[in-house]
Chain A
Amino acid sequence: MDPTTLSLLITIAKIVVLVGALMTAAAYFVLVERWIAAWVQDRKGPNRVGLPLTKFRMFGLGQPLADGLKFIFKEEYVPKNVDRWLYTLAPVVLLAAALAAFAVIPFGDTIPVDAGAAGDGETSTGSGFIKLLVAPHVDVGMLYVFALSSMAVYGVILGGWSSNNKYGYLGALRSSAQMIAYELPLGLGILGVVLMTGSLRLDLIVSHQADVGVWNAFAQPLGFVVFVVAAFAEAARLPFDLPECEQELIGGYHTEYSGMRLILFLIGEFMHMITASLLIVLLFLGGWHFWGLTGGEFTGWVDAILKIVILIVKTVAVILFFMLVRWSWPRFRFDQLMSLAWKVMLPLGMLNLAVVAVLNEPAFQQYLGGGSTFVFVTINILVAAVAWIVTALLQPLAADNRPRSVEKTW
């Protein structure tokens, strides 16, 4: 078999495994979400559905299957005045964009097929290295993820617009405004990391953190906070779920959707959350690195598997955090949401970028000499603390919308 065919087959196999795993993961995260929602409210949550047609309950682990079946068998109602073509296209766009982003996300370090033998390292065809990555060597990896996460907004806007519904359209409008506003802090958060690493490739960003031994979350706390907040907004999770708030917009852009089309939207949203969590872990929480357990270099198969496990554990922990925050924080008002993006997150992100840029200046690095990492971290933490307190005292989110001046003008 010639190398091209082999490479193609391997890539297809990777895609099949990845999509299958992600779909299953999304289904089970719905269950976890419901469990957490129940536990936080002192309830027990879904614990009845187990193996089909038997009495085994298995703590409700059969629930995703039942949920999926329910969605499949529901009537797929299409309202009369929708733009049918775009109406059908919208969920597909959303889910396709959400899934395609995973192509450049590494799920583990590069593994040499036989450790010690020199592979060429430049192919993924099994001639020397196994890469746990669908599309290796995409040097614009980070930009690609960025572009696709913005593409997903098209799905939301198309869905809201084509369904010819006020609530749907309001949700879509809110979504587009929110995405545009939070794309900037998200980018600024990433830019700091990229500046420090010197690469847009996610696997290189992780191995840089592993080499230095300090995760970017500690090296750039300000960038971390800005990125996490922006990631919450991008994934449209509470407290930033204004595009689809159930109380105000009865579901927002997917108000008019039902059956399989609705589940495509819902899975797409969960995919967003999984992508956001993976990015937080890869960019800021050291990816598959953990002190004392896994380093930057390949030491054996145990090490390779441990790295995958560590990455998954970290990602699941971040997702659980996402879910807990949902029940801890009330939703922002829309003007507060916008103020937070433009008046707080954007300046803080710029500040972080400026500090990282100055500290990464070769002349400065030379001046510091050996202890540069320690100084770097200290300065960044100090800057973060000062900036946070100054922002807090300025109170940019406080909005007074009382008609005090009305008497004077009348």
Chain B
Amino acid sequence: MSEPEQKTERASWTMRDFLSPREPIPASLYIALGVGSFAVLLALWAALTYSRLIDPLFLPTPGRVLQAGLDLFVEFDFTTDILNSTYRVMLGFLFAAILGVPIGLLMGTFKAAEALIEPIMGFIRYMPASAFIPLFILWLGIGDVEKVAIIFVGSFFQLVLMVAVVAKNVHKDMLETAYTLGARPVQVIRKVLLPASLPGILDTLRIIVGWAWTYIVVAELVASSSGIGYMIISAQRMLRTASIIFGILTIGMLGLITDYGFKWLHRKLFPWVE
């Protein structure tokens, strides 16, 4: 979408630069393209709404949404909602990671563990986390525990399977080399399998936390009294479309921040990755 814009801006770049698969492009261009895609989306939105092509009840203007956002922070204590949601997401995600990473590693390392765990994980993974909400309300009430449990269910089973794949993909030659250098099985796991899996595990966590952010809204839409999801469902009752959109955008922003945090961590922790 942003490519035509870039071409007019930087005439010195030939088409070849863009069309070579996986070839690097200048860092400045990379950033410009990223910002550009946001800008185009925003421009499209502005054009459609300020021209009144779309009824503001269905899609308010960017200015209205921004105003609604300010009102949310000033009058409706939106900061607390954000903190509540973040807390639930992080807690559910943390539990899923603390339990899921070791189980996934076991599964990817030992065939017996794989045989034991994989079928059940593959089975539960396809059960939609949102369908557990009525059950969890029955079992756990309508407080934070229930919300965290939804996040956990949504993240944990996927995480285990993905971490198992990461561990399985560690090249066998590398493990065998360690054996011929005198390593015992425990040492092969600790000194080869684990460090070799870490970058892949961090990548998995980054993807999973993104999903956790999407589950939080579902969890907070039902039987809730705080959080971004709760704000969205309240706004719907009042037909405050601008607040709904601001809530969605907030979650998008939080997700983006988390994503960049993980990417930054990846670069800091694993400078050796090719």
Same complex for A and B? Answer no
